Chains A and B, each alone.
Chain A
């Protein structure tokens, strides 16, 4: 019995600690666990959540994508700006296409040329930030006649009582989860991440698998950009700055391993939602907003350490 409690604690320690946190905040701030507030939190995490779902594919192969923050900025600027030029539907298509293309570019460099993913996407982060400024000329862009367009539905609408961003996020996560679980592509992603050499010997073309994960990451960021543009009805040149860190923090917190091969979409959804609830809870308790960064630091270290310790069977390396 004691052993079983111990193993449950180890395996789900993070979620238990999170539940304790939720109850603790709810006791002290009555507004916390109301349906309205929960929906607000989910709406806030839906953008980073969509990106994180895409990046999870990349991380599962043992690679990284640091360029998604800059990519979100670029695509948001594109969707908002093109909305004024070619109308909402073509603008959305262009955004998704641009996201997939830039993802494909990363994918070629990492998958086929075999360059280090960290550095490639870091270079891309810088390059895309430059591209944003080149495209926008440094000024903010706004949706003209914001009242007269259906574009607002992605960020501000509701569907069956749920905010549309949340619906898109959960739907995206569901599709991604099904793809990972039930398609051969999904199994290849886990295979390449688990043991790349073995996967190549079993006939998987690791290069194409890696390539497609980056395309997915770019596409997911495109969807996130549409939600973002629609919610703000405009875009600044720094709108996505630092998002790559939040996305990674959420993925890591959920327990997906950066070494690849282990993790899942639902873990990412939980991780990124946890970050949202912690941020919201701390604000409701009256802490300044930056205290959440300290808390994020501490829980990332504790969560990953516990996870690693549980797999290893002892706490210290």
Chain B
């Protein structure tokens, strides 16, 4: 759907505007939810609460960045929740043995290694990433339990929990890290060779291969990035909580997929961006926060989330149909 000069001259600004809105429907949705909750609760639109939303959203957000990379490739990573649990357990459990920063480093390394393993298995075997990472989701959780022995690990020194307690106004360092990473990866997607290859591989893997892209290496890199980002999320979570629970991050992979798909990135690959993902993550965070401020029971949140997700899919479907005509 390309715009010709006649289109513009004939004054179809409205149409162009509408089609932009439709394509970026997540921002309309975000504005709508913000407006509704601002009217419904006096505590919603305060600097303090906005800061809270950004911090709460940042954890799923960091996972969603890696997931977006993998999804634009046309793959999926279900193991991020388990990976973050392992990274946070290692980062806390190893502190007494090797010190804080080496432990954090090992945590990050574990995420990168598991991502690399997922990517290598997908690339070498030709299995679908859904199966490979479904196995990972089950197995890595087993690793976490083997390491922690079913107990929650506590930090030996609580100065560890003060590391991320740096604020820029109401915005926490966790949120800043999320936005920093999101912008960085958007730059990778839009302005680097790796980014262009990501879209090419997701759009048509055979054409990408014929065009000389090393598809296998490319996928391994993206899975490794995704695993590393999951570890970053796990370490930030361990800093925030001061403990590492073996069940941490359970079903977070589902929230992450919901956030990314809500943003508009397509599971089929070849389409999406970090802007969309930021929109999806913020919408999810605003919904969760707003519903809690309104004192709604937990089940409303779960039901609204399911309904919103289906609504987003239907919208996307209509949009695609409109593009086709």
Q: Which residues of A come within 8 Å of B, CB atoms?
A: 109, 113-116, 118-120, 122-134, 138, 245, 248-249, 252, 258-259, 288, 290-294, 296-298, 300-301, 304-305, 308-309, 312, 315-317
Contact in complex: A130, B123 (CB < 8 Å):
no
* Chain A minimum-CB-distance residue to B125: A305
Q: Report which of A122, A123, A133 forms a contact with B297, defined as CB distance below 8 A.
A: A133
Contact in complex: A301, B306 (CB < 8 Å):
no
List the 4 shortest-distance A-B pairs measured between CB atoms, nearest first. Answer: A297-B139, A127-B306, A317-B126, A130-B302
Q: Report which of B143, B302, B306 forms a contact with A133, defined as CB distance below 8 A.
A: B302
- In the assembled complex, the CB of A34 is this many whole angstroms from the nearest CB of chain B, namely 27
**B-side interface mostly:** helix
- In the assembled complex, the CB of B65 is this many whole angstroms from the nearest CB of chain A, namely 19
How far apart sit A245 and B136, CA to CA, in the bound complex (Å)?
A: 11
Q: Report which of A129, A288, A308 forms a contact with B125, defined as CB distance below 8 A.
A: A308
Cβ contacts B113-157/A at 8 Å (1 or 0 each): 000000001011111101110111111111101100010000000
How far apart sit A245 and B297, CA to CA, in the bound complex (Å)?
A: 27
- In the assembled complex, the CB of A299 is this many whole angstroms from the nearest CB of chain B, namely 9
Contact in complex: A294, B299 (CB < 8 Å):
no
- Ordered by A's residue number, 9 sampled pairs between the chains whose C-beta atoms are within 8 Å are A118-B130, A123-B313, A130-B301, A130-B305, A131-B299, A294-B139, A294-B143, A301-B127, A316-B126
Contact in complex: A122, B309 (CB < 8 Å):
yes
Q: Which residues of B come within 8 Å of A, CB atoms?
A: 76, 121, 123-128, 130-132, 134-143, 145-146, 150, 216, 254, 257-258, 261, 267, 297-307, 309-310, 313-314, 317
- In the assembled complex, the CB of B85 is this many whole angstroms from the nearest CB of chain A, namely 12
Contact in complex: B267, A116 (CB < 8 Å):
yes
Contact in complex: B135, A300 (CB < 8 Å):
yes
Name the A residues within 8 Å of B145 (CB-CB).
288, 290, 293
| A133-B302, A304-B127 known, 10 other contacts, Cβ within 8 Å | A122-B257, A125-B254, A126-B309, A130-B299, A130-B301, A259-B128, A290-B141, A292-B142, A294-B143, A297-B142
* Chain A minimum-CB-distance residue to B126: A317
Contact in complex: A301, B146 (CB < 8 Å):
no
- In the assembled complex, the CB of A297 is this many whole angstroms from the nearest CB of chain B, namely 2
- In the assembled complex, the CB of B7 is this many whole angstroms from the nearest CB of chain A, namely 30
Contact in complex: B302, A129 (CB < 8 Å):
yes
- In the assembled complex, the CB of A69 is this many whole angstroms from the nearest CB of chain B, namely 10
Contact in complex: B135, A109 (CB < 8 Å):
no
- In the assembled complex, the CB of A162 is this many whole angstroms from the nearest CB of chain B, namely 30
